[in-house]
Chain A
Amino acid sequence: DVKVTQSSRYLVKRTGEKVFLECVQDMDHENMFWYRQDPGLGLRLIYFSYDVKMKEKGDIPEGYSVSREKKERFSLILESASTNQTSMYLCASFHRTGGGNEQFFGPGTRLTVL
């Protein structure tokens, strides 16, 4: 079974804190993605990575950065958390060639910034 795990299910942080969200997949997928999901707005892509040390901005990268030092791990970083970053964060991975066509999602991290 494909497995995508995220470091925390629930996280509460204070405004201005640096926040790390970790995602690990065990299927040797090249592509990894970070989304946020908000009511009425759906899933929006923050950043994605197609290989180790490679990254591309998604649709809403402002206020975020990412790190992909190892193939299995993709980290999302909030340099200085703000209340408008309170959201559900979902990580996903996808195999570039061969295999299935779908993205596999982690369980999500619900982040609250106070």
Chain B
Amino acid sequence: GQNIDQPTEMTATEGAIVQINCTYQTSGFNGLFWYQQHAGEAPTFLSYNVLDGLEEKGRFSSFLSRSKGYSYLLLKELQMKDSASYLCAVRALNTGFQKLVFGTGTRLLVSP
């Protein structure tokens, strides 16, 4: 089976840096995704890691350690619009078809 853990809620200040952690246990690991979801809206893709290391994309970076079952999403120069939920999801190979298993999400509140 799969198990994904991430903090329920985090708060940070505009302009700061925040790190959202995600730990997972899964069989047939085939990639980790981060999605952003604003209240009442659909999730939108942020990043994808399948190999160990850091992937940087503008203000957002994502890190993966497969041996530790660990990932983090780093958000720099926080803006008010970054207030949203951040979903960690793991892709697992299941009888040849690929599914995503999602964590419950981390709600980030950015204050002025």
Contact = CB atoms under 8 A, between A and B. Distances in A.
Interface in A86-105: 90, 94, 96, 100-105
Given A31-B98, A43-B87, A90 B105 contact: no
A58 B99 contact: yes
A64 interface: no
Given A31-B97, A48-B99, A56-B97, A106 B42 contact: yes
Interface of B: 31, 33, 40-45, 48, 50, 87, 89, 97-105
Given A40-B104, A101-B31, A50 B97 contact: yes
Given A43-B102, A48-B99, A102 B87 contact: no
A45 B48 contact: no
A48 B40 CA distance: 23
Contacts of B40: 108
Given A42-B104, A48-B99, A58-B99, A107 B42 contact: yes
B43 A105 contact: yes
B92 to A, nearest CB: 11
Contacts of B33: 101-103
A90 B43 CA distance: 9
B50 to A, nearest CB: 8
Given A35-B102, A43-B102, A102-B33, 4 more contacts: A42-B105, A44-B102, A101-B33, A108-B40
Contacts of A56: 97
Contacts of B101: 45
A99 B44 CA distance: 17
A56 B94 CA distance: 11
A45 B40 CA distance: 19
A42 B41 contact: no
Contacts of A48: 97, 99
B2 to A, nearest CB: 9
